[in-house]
Amino acid sequence: MFGSSKSQKTPWETTDGAVEDLLQAACTLHKTVEPQPDRLGILGAGSIGVKAESVRKAIDRLKNAVLSCAAAESDGKMQYKQVESVVERLDNSNPLFVTVLERLSEVHFHHFHEIGMGIPTVVKKALGWIQGSIQACLTTLSNANKISELTQRISTVGNRLLAAVSKALAVYSNTTTPDL
């Protein structure tokens, strides 16, 4: 045989990998917004927007992986341990997401105004898309869940993520220059 033979991943392995990809994309975005904004310059907004778009795409891949994982089960629902694992890792990474979103809304937004950029559309759009992707992913995860005990936990984790995105998006949706 020529070349390497890649074994097919199970739907759960794909879902597990999608969670890891999301966490990696969030870490990459965190590294981008971690430095002081004056070190980023005008290109920094574009870089942040690109990294935020990577997070959105990772969320969408997770949603699709959850759908595939659920479809592979006879009842169309994911196993308890699978849903629990996804929710647990999203919950554990919540502080990372919140930190990134706070830096975007409290530090970088003001810097963008200081250098005369106004509202960086690329960041605003990426945040809106992230919000929509999170909502769709959480709905998919809730629908793939067959254990009522996890329904509230999915909702709680989701509400915290969505609240952080909404707060950051509200700053970027403001049409007036903030007090500097």
Cβ-based burial of 98 (10 A; exposed 0-12, middle 13-18, buried ≥19): middle
Q: What is the pTM of this model?
A: 0.83
Tokens of 54: 């990577």
Residue 176 has pLDDT above 50, yes or no: no
User: Residue ranges of the domains in the chain?
Assistant: 11-173
Alpha-carbon distance of 142 to 26, in angstroms, equals: 22
Alpha-carbon distance of 135 to 140, in angstroms, equals: 9
Q: What is the pLDDT of residues 59-109, one digit of tens each?
A: 999 999 999 999 999 999 999 999 999 999 999 999 998 888 888 776 666
CATH 1.10.357 describes domain 11-173? no
Q: What is the pLDDT of residues 101-150, one digit of tens each?
A: 888 776 666 666 666 665 566 677 778 888 999 999 999 999 999 888 89
Task: Say if residues 67 and 140 touch (Cβ distance below 8 Å).
Answer: yes
Cα 126 → chain centroid? 10
What residues contact 4, with CB distance under 8 A and at least 6 apart? none
